[in-house]
């Protein structure tokens, strides 16, 4: 095998690609060619590193130097300095949020340092489009063992003892699910990979599929052997073209290597996998809806039981797990259940991938051991809250999850603790909220999401979410009453108890958890008719403080509705009747001036704006 002096690993996850990673890679290659260094330097496109906000990302091995936010123009300098002269370019390195010196090595960056990579172990180091590279890093080793040295019972036992739980939401023990499917009557049996990741701000599964498609495939084949299936489907949402493309390639390559298809590795075991593209509905991620969609029907959930493990695709026993769960399987088989069970907590084993987004310095994808404290994720990995603002809450678990307040920042992240705190593991979305976030607004946002994405089948979810959203909208406009809070709680109960599927049953969570921890904020909206975070438009006014205004005309020009009057070097004034609370003035007012302020409650009313512009004649 050919060896190179230096490996330049260009992150080619969707995030980096959208910032120009492919152009960067081409520029690097041509620069290397131009200098005649092809035989010494290898440029490798890799899967997502998770630090998407800093893309495009380049890691140089063997030194382990991490470059970020690269542009094509940086390439000649980079090659000249780093490769030829051996002087890493400090200018292009990562600088921590505290503004101290750049950190040259990836391993020393806080974002990476605290992570524990099991599922994402190959991210950023292999070319996901080359099966040989996956194999070089022990890919398909577990499959070999499972097919040649293990019985289905052995595999089931390993997965069960490892304590692996579903990473898609509810955390059902994977071993138990597989055992049920193995015992269920009916043939053929099917394996399904749920890659219909739809939570706002979540991209864990996309990243796994893009970075290490073979791990997912390998997990599925092992699962197939365990339950006695010979056909599998990967349901990947159509909005993930790169993931689909890489998985298609992986399937082709695995087939060419005899790792997929008839008589895998000469073991006599047959398995075929194919990709089904999702049609773009959030609810398709619900397992029974997903199965209906594969069958060619409208993605609508059906009542369970029977569970898919008993009656799934076309009424046959089917194991459906999400991408991350499948990707855990080869690691467990390869390194043993004891190794896996040693990671995490008593009830939650292994690691979990989270997408860390929102008001946080280091936005990105992180894989951490179960049981890690929220504080560690937010402050150490995430680098804290930007702009010196205060941390307020973190929304965990997507639209079905809940908000965990600052008081619980030392909560260990595992299935039970999160559920107890009113959130849920979900598929691993983690949205950090700072003090400028209105919790009523957040609850309304997530509720509108579930309202729009409800399949429309069962009445509590279809109608109930709409009614809750209407009440919340009323509260956010200062028109709520205290009875509305009670009504919200009763409605939430009806929806939770009455809904058919997980989407409906958990839809009230964002409201319930914010009511639980931020009831005073609701009351502020209702009683004081004020929005403490100054987010809800009807309760907020923008005001130019005359003593601060320098009369620079910036806000006047930025106002889309020409609600600001004034002349150069004269104090500007906002016509409150015309203002639409878009915040453009607030944003353009120079940082050293900060003349625009947001007012709410009595202060807003003191501006004597004609409230609730007359709609009535």
Partner 1 sequence: MNITINGRSLVVAGRPTILEAARAAGFAVPSLCDHRALLPYGACRICLVEIKGRRGFAPACSTPFEEGMEVITESPALAALRRGILELILAEHPSSCLVCTEKTSCDDFKSTIRKTGEVTGCVHCPANGRCELQRVVDMVGLERVPYPARRRDGEIVRTDPFIDRDNSLCILCGRCARICREVRGASVLTFVDRGSETLIGTAFGRTLLDSGCQFCGACVDVCPTGSLAERAARPEPLPDRRTRAICPFCSLGCTLDVHSRAGRLLYTVPSEQGPVNEGQGCVRGRFAVRSALTGGRRILRPHLRQEGELAPVSWEEALGRAAELLKALPGPSSAWVGSGQSSLEDLYLMGKWGSAIGAGACSVASPSSSAAILDQEGVSLDFRLEEIAAARTIVLVGIDPVVSHPLAWLEVRKAIEAGARLLSVGSLPQTAGRSISHALAPRPGFEAAVLVGMIRSILEAGVPKEVAAKPGFKDFQRSLGEAGDPPDPAIPPEAIAAFASELTARGPALLLVGGDFFLPSARPETTAALLNLALAAQARLVPLAGSSNGRGWLAVRRAFGTEDRPPAEIVQGIRSGRLRALFLAGRAFDLAGTRPEVLIGLSSHWNEALLQADVVFPACTVLETPGRFINVEGRWQSGDETLPPPGESKPGWWATAALAREMGCEGFSFASAEEVAEEARQRMAGGGSPPDAPAPRFLPLPRFGTPTATDSGHPFLLKVVPPPDLFGGRDLAENLPGLGKIRRASAVWMNPQDAAAAGIADGDAVLVATASVEVRAEARLHPSVPRRVLRASARASLVAGVEPARVAKVS
Q: Which residues lie closer than 8 Å to 440 by C-beta, 6 or more apart?
A: 472, 475, 476, 514, 521, 522, 525, 531, 536
98, with CB counted inside 10 A (0-12, 13-18, 19+), is exposed
Least gap, CB of 296 to partner 1 (angstroms): 11
Q: Which residues lie closer than 8 Å to 465 by C-beta, 6 or more apart?
A: 447, 450, 451, 454, 495, 504, 507
107-112: long-range contacts (C-beta < 8 A, 24 or more apart)?
Answer: 107/64, 109/66, 110/362, 110/380, 110/381, 110/383, 111/50, 111/51, 111/362, 111/364, 111/366, 111/381, 111/382, 111/383, 112/51
Tell me the backbone φ, ψ of residue 191, rounded to 5 degrees: -115, 135
Least gap, CB of 479 to partner 1 (angstroms): 13
User: Does 86 help bind partner 1 (rule: CB under 8 A)?
Assistant: no
Cα 555 from Cα 124, distance rounded (Å): 44
> Two tokens at 179?
């055992």
52, with CB counted inside 10 A (0-12, 13-18, 19+), is buried
Q: Would you say 14 or 506 has its CB closer to partner 1?
A: 506
Least gap, CB of 303 to partner 1 (angstroms): 4
Per CB under 8 A, contacts with partner 1 among 500-529 are 500
Per CB under 8 A, contacts with partner 1 among 225-264 are none
Name the region of 596 (left: φ>0; alpha: ψ -120 to 50; beta: rest). beta
Q: Would you say 49 or 400 has its CB closer to partner 1?
A: 400
> Which of 76, 94, 14 is closest to 361 using CA atoms?
94
Please state the separation of Cα 558 from the chain's center in Å. 34
Number of shown-chain residues binding partner 1 (CB under 8 A):
33
Q: Would you say 358 or 510 has its CB closer to partner 1?
A: 510
> Two tokens at 563?
């609600």
Q: Would you say 209 or 292 has its CB closer to partner 1?
A: 292
Q: Would you say 231 or 302 has its CB closer to partner 1?
A: 302
List, in sequence order, every residue forming a beta bridge with 599; answer none if it has no partner. 541
Least gap, CB of 456 to partner 1 (angstroms): 3
Least gap, CB of 439 to partner 1 (angstroms): 23
Least gap, CB of 457 to partner 1 (angstroms): 5
Cα 146 from Cα 331, distance rounded (Å): 12
Place of tokens 């947001």: 598
Binding mask 284-323 for partner 1 (x = CB under 8 A): --------------x-x-xx-x------------------
Q: Would you say 186 or 566 has its CB closer to partner 1?
A: 186
Q: Would you say 288 or 351 has its CB closer to partner 1?
A: 288
Per CB under 8 A, contacts with partner 1 among 476-505 are 487, 490-491, 493-494, 497-500
User: Does 283 help bind partner 1 (rule: CB under 8 A)?
Assistant: yes
Q: Would you say 28 or 492 has its CB closer to partner 1?
A: 492
User: Does 60 help bind partner 1 (rule: CB under 8 A)?
Assistant: no
Least gap, CB of 464 to partner 1 (angstroms): 5
DSSP single-letter state for residue 193? E
Least gap, CB of 491 to partner 1 (angstroms): 7
Angle at 259 between CA 256 and CA 260, to 5 degrees: 80
User: Does 281 help bind partner 1 (rule: CB under 8 A)?
Assistant: yes
Least gap, CB of 471 to partner 1 (angstroms): 9
Q: Would you say 227 or 491 has its CB closer to partner 1?
A: 491
Cα 194 from Cα 312, distance rounded (Å): 13
List, in sequence order, every residue forming a beta bridge with 103; answer none if it has no partner. 94
Least gap, CB of 268 to partner 1 (angstroms): 29
Q: Would you say 225 or 496 has its CB closer to partner 1?
A: 496
Q: Would you say 32 or 443 has its CB closer to partner 1?
A: 443
Per CB under 8 A, contacts with partner 1 among 410-469 are 451-460, 462-467
Least gap, CB of 357 to partner 1 (angstroms): 24
Angle between helix 439-453 and 459-476 (nearest 10): 150
Place of tokens 């907020």: 540
Least gap, CB of 169 to partner 1 (angstroms): 17
User: Does 470 help bind partner 1 (rule: CB under 8 A)?
Assistant: yes
User: Does 64 help bind partner 1 (rule: CB under 8 A)?
Assistant: no
**What torsion, rounded to 10 degrees, do the Cα atoms 240, 241, 247, 251 define?**
140
Least gap, CB of 279 to partner 1 (angstroms): 11
Q: Which residues lie closer than 8 Å to 303 by C-beta, 6 or more apart?
A: 500
DSSP helix/strand/coil, 133: helix
Start-to-end C-alpha separation, the chain = 83
Q: Would you say 186 or 412 has its CB closer to partner 1?
A: 186
> Two tokens at 20?
């120009």
Q: Would you say 89 or 491 has its CB closer to partner 1?
A: 491
- Residues in contact with partner 1 by CB under 8 A are 281, 283, 298, 300, 302-303, 305, 451-460, 462-467, 470, 487, 490-491, 493-494, 497-500
């Amino acid at each position: 095998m050919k060896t190179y002096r230096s490996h330049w690993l260009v992150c080619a996850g969707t995030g980096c690609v959208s910032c120009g990673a492919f152009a960067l890679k081409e520029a690097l290659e041509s620069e290397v060619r131009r200098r005649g260094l092809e035989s010494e330097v290898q440029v490798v496109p890799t899967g997502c590193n998770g630090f998407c906000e800093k893309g495009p990302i380049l890691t140089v091995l063997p030194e382990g130097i991490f470059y970020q936010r690269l542009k094509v123009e940086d390439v000649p300098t980079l090659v000249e300095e780093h490769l030829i002269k051996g002087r890493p370019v400090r200018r292009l390195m990562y600088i921590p949020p505290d503004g101290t010196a750049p950190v040259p090595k990836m391993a020393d960056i806080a974002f990476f340092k605290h992570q524990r990579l099991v599922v994402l172990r190959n991210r950023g180091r292999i070319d996901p489009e080359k099966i040989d590279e996956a194999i070089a890093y022990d890919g398909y080793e577990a499959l070999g063992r499972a097919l040649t040295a293990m019985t289905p019972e052995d595999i089931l036992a390993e997965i069960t003892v490892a304590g692996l739980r579903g990473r898609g939401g509810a955390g059902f023990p994977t071993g138990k699910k597989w055992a049920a499917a193995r015992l269920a009557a009916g043939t053929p049996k099917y394996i399904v990979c749920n890659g219909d990741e739809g939570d706002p701000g979540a991209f864990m599964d996309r990243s796994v599929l893009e970075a290490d498609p073979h791990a997912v495939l390998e997990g599925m084949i092992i699962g197939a052997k365990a339950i006695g299936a010979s056909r599998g489907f990967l349901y990947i949402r159509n909005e993930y073209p790169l993931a689909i493309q890489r998985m298609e390639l992986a399937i082709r390559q695995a087939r060419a290597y005899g790792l997929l298809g008839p008589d895998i590795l000469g073991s006599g075991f047959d398995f075929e996998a194919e990709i089904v593209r999702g049609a773009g509905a959030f609810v398709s991620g619900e397992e029974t809806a997903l199965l209906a969609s594969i069958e060619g029907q409208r993605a609508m959930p059906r009542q369970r039981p029977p569970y898919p493990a008993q009656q799934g695709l076309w009424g046959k026993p089917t194991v459906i797990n999400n991408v991350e769960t499948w990707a855990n399987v080869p690691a467990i088989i390869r390194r043993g259940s004891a190794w896996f069970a040693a990671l995490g907590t008593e009830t939650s084993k292994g690691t979990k991938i989270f997408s860390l987004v929102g008001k946080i310095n280091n936005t990105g994808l992180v894989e951490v051991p179960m049981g890690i404290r929220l504080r560690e994720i937010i402050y150490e990995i995430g680098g804290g809250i930007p702009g010196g603002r205060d941390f307020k809450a973190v929304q965990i678990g997507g639209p079905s999850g809940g908000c965990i307040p600052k008081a619980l920042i030392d909560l260990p992240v595992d299935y039970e603790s999160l559920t107890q705190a009113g959130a849920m593991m979900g598929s691993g979305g983690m949205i950090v909220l700072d003090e400028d976030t209105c919790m009523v607004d957040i609850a309304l946002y997530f509720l509108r999401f579930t309202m729009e994405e409800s399949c429309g089948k069962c009445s509590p979810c279809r109608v109930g979410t709409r009614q809750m959203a209407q009440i919340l909208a009323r509260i956010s406009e200062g028109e709520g009453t205290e009875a509305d809070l009670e009504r919200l709680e009763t409605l939430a109960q009806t929806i939770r108890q009455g809904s058919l599927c997980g989407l409906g049953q958990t839809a009230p969570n964002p409201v319930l958890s914010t009511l639980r921890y931020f009831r005073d904020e609701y009351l502020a909206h209702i009683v004081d008719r004020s929005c403490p975070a100054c987010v809800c438009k009807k309760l907020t006014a923008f005001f130019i403080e005359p003593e601060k205004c320098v009369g620079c005309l910036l806000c006047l020009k930025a106002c889309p509705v020409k609600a600001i009057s004034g002349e150069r070097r004269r104090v500007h004034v906002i016509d409150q009747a015309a203002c639409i609370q878009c915040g453009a003035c607030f944003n353009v007012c120079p940082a050293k001036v900060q003349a625009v302020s947001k007012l709410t409650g009595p202060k807003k009313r003191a501006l004597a704006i004609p409230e609730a512009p007359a709609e009535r004649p």
